[in-house]
Copies of this chain bind each other. A is one copy, B any other.
């Protein structure tokens, strides 16, 4: 297939994505329901079988290597035994450098078309990707399907569209004519996009696709070779995406090493060696704040571009409800979904000491706490919805954190307990632990307690809450803020203060939309304006720092 045919084939997909990025409207190129009606009646069975066939074997399509490794374990209680080829950093970087020359010579439109083609091909494996995600991250299947399938791929397409738009926002050639009195001078000018260099994308264990595709596809569409370095605990889902992209490149006569997978182990990590290689010029990082600070410092010291999404402390302010039942159901779902292992999950819930207004009533803080507990119980103890919503716990460290929180000696609003996952006796799980903490104990609650741990904090009044949340955002970072109020003036004050502090804010979510969720093409994910990270999926700065424009001038 010619690249020009590929451009034609995917033009409407690209145009719609560019338009959605501009208009911020609802847009989904891949439907989110894991439904046989959409993806084919045998899609689920085929995907499950592909997953089962892969367990215990090496993944194909990633290139040939002397050495193989891989040590993933499902949080549902079994070892995957999937292995991957492994190379030295020098081998990876040399191949990436070689591959970049021809890749950067393509036009932005050609690169975008190749990448969309690869996404379309990989999307045929959404169900396998879903099971691979379920059994590395511990998410429930539906969430795993959506986060690593349609939602993660929409984030990839968003980045492709943004990168394409940024490279075509100016003329690629112009006949420049400067009037000089009775004559003029004419210069032929060409503007060439030059990628910064190799783009390293460092993944995390909880969202191995969703948090990797934005940097990966932003780097690729702007002409960079990309090396994807997944978390050693969650390689398999993104390995499928990389393998499908490489197969697409080969079929198109392009060098597959434009995108490589770098696999390491917890015992012998290669991330620092990779990011310190002089040829690596862009680094995308999602993960914990401690290693994130190391990544940022190493990049800063060598003038590398770095995009980080680390972590923060997300806040909720509850002042008043118009529909308490729906609101609490919504908040309970946000606290329970994937057992709080989302960077966007709420942690600290601020309530005025005078209570929460609910119509003509006022609930005391304790009454509010009990209502919230009941809604969490109703969800997580529901045998049908509970297990798949809560999922399992990706890391033993997160389970240990729940134990640590239990030992703080705080008033327990809701105890954390195990969720039974039928068929998976060894599953590692924990339902939401909700604690009540005195406002003075900010030594406790302004830390990030990653996992199913939240705190209810009584404060003087709503403006005190707003002030504390704004301060927390600036000191500790945040990815989300959620507020319930029926008072328009309170809403305005909160919006101004929280936005100025640098975090997004959502008001009165009560139905089919949750503060943890961030929609591709519409919601900018990661404010970039507070200590939780400097990257935003996908604003203009997320793509424009990955390339330069170099001018060529010719006098006729």
Q: Contact residues of A with B, CB < 8 Å?
A: 21-26, 101, 104, 165-166, 169-171, 174, 176-180, 185, 187, 189, 191-192, 194, 196, 296-297, 300-301, 303, 491, 495, 499-500, 502-513, 519, 522-524, 527-529, 534, 536, 539-541, 544-545, 548-555
Interface of A is mostly: mixed
Q: Return 15 A-B CB contacts under 8 Å, by A number.
A: A22-B169, A22-B171, A24-B174, A26-B179, A185-B511, A189-B522, A303-B534, A499-B550, A507-B554, A507-B555, A511-B555, A513-B553, A523-B551, A527-B550, A536-B548
- Complex-state Cα separation, A553 to B510, whole angstroms: 12
A297 proximity list for chain B (CB < 8 A): 301
A502 proximity list for chain B (CB < 8 A): 194, 548, 550
A278: min CB distance to chain B, Å: 11
A534 proximity list for chain B (CB < 8 A): 303
A21 proximity list for chain B (CB < 8 A): 170
Q: Apart from A26-B179, A505-B552, A507-B552, list 4 A-B contacts with CB within 8 A.
A: A185-B513, A506-B554, A513-B555, A528-B548
B513 x A194 contact (CB < 8 A): no
A152: min CB distance to chain B, Å: 18
A346: min CB distance to chain B, Å: 14
Q: In the complex, what residue of chain B is closest to A192 when comparing beta carbons?
A: B499
- Complex-state Cα separation, A285 to B101, whole angstroms: 32
A104 proximity list for chain B (CB < 8 A): 500
6 nearest A-B pairs in the assembled complex, by CB-CB distance: A300-B300, A529-B548, A540-B544, A185-B512, A541-B544, A506-B553
A24 x B548 contact (CB < 8 A): no
**CB within 8 A of A176: which of B194, B491, B519?**
B519
A551 x B504 contact (CB < 8 A): yes
A185 proximity list for chain B (CB < 8 A): 511-513
A177: min CB distance to chain B, Å: 6
B170 x A513 contact (CB < 8 A): no
A523 proximity list for chain B (CB < 8 A): 189, 551, 553
Number of copies: 2
**CB within 8 A of A544: which of B522, B544, B555?**
B544
Q: A24-B176, A171-B23 are in contact. Are A499 and B303 (CB under 8 A)?
A: no
- Complex-state Cα separation, A329 to B301, whole angstroms: 44
A175: min CB distance to chain B, Å: 8
A24 proximity list for chain B (CB < 8 A): 170-171, 174, 176, 189, 191
- Complex-state Cα separation, A183 to B360, whole angstroms: 30
A234: min CB distance to chain B, Å: 28
B529 x A539 contact (CB < 8 A): no
- Complex-state Cα separation, A101 to B501, whole angstroms: 12
Q: In the complex, what residue of chain B is closest to A304 when comparing beta carbons?
A: B300
Q: In the complex, what residue of chain B is closest to A196 when comparing beta carbons?
A: B529
A503 proximity list for chain B (CB < 8 A): 550
Q: Name the residue among A503, A505, A551 with the largest chain B CB count within 10 angstroms.
A: A551
A300: min CB distance to chain B, Å: 3
**CB within 8 A of A508: which of B174, B529, B554?**
B554
A540 x B174 contact (CB < 8 A): no
Q: In the complex, what residue of chain B is closest to A530 when comparing beta carbons?
A: B548
A509 proximity list for chain B (CB < 8 A): 553, 555
- Complex-state Cα separation, A554 to B484, whole angstroms: 10
- Complex-state Cα separation, A23 to B172, whole angstroms: 9
- Complex-state Cα separation, A509 to B188, whole angstroms: 11
A168: min CB distance to chain B, Å: 10
Q: Name the residue among A176, A524, A553 with the largest chain B CB count within 10 angstroms.
A: A553
- Complex-state Cα separation, A23 to B174, whole angstroms: 7
A169 proximity list for chain B (CB < 8 A): 22, 165, 540
Q: A552-B504, A555-B513 are in contact. Are A524 and B191 (CB under 8 A)?
A: yes
A191 proximity list for chain B (CB < 8 A): 24, 524
- Complex-state Cα separation, A169 to B170, whole angstroms: 13
A174 x B549 contact (CB < 8 A): no
A170 proximity list for chain B (CB < 8 A): 21-24
A183: min CB distance to chain B, Å: 8
A206: min CB distance to chain B, Å: 22
**CB within 8 A of A529: which of B194, B510, B511?**
B194
Q: In the complex, what residue of chain B is closest to A281 when comparing beta carbons?
A: B529
A26 x B176 contact (CB < 8 A): yes
A553 proximity list for chain B (CB < 8 A): 504-507, 509, 513, 523
Q: A301-B300, A541-B541 are in contact. Are A510 and B555 (CB under 8 A)?
A: yes
A165 proximity list for chain B (CB < 8 A): 169
A26 proximity list for chain B (CB < 8 A): 176-179
A296 proximity list for chain B (CB < 8 A): 303
- Complex-state Cα separation, A523 to B174, whole angstroms: 11
A539 proximity list for chain B (CB < 8 A): 544, 548-549
A194 x B545 contact (CB < 8 A): no
Q: In the complex, what residue of chain B is closest to A179 when comparing beta carbons?
A: B26
A554 proximity list for chain B (CB < 8 A): 491, 506-508
A194: min CB distance to chain B, Å: 6
Q: In the complex, what residue of chain B is closest to A528 when comparing beta carbons?
A: B548
**CB within 8 A of A536: which of B176, B179, B549?**
B549
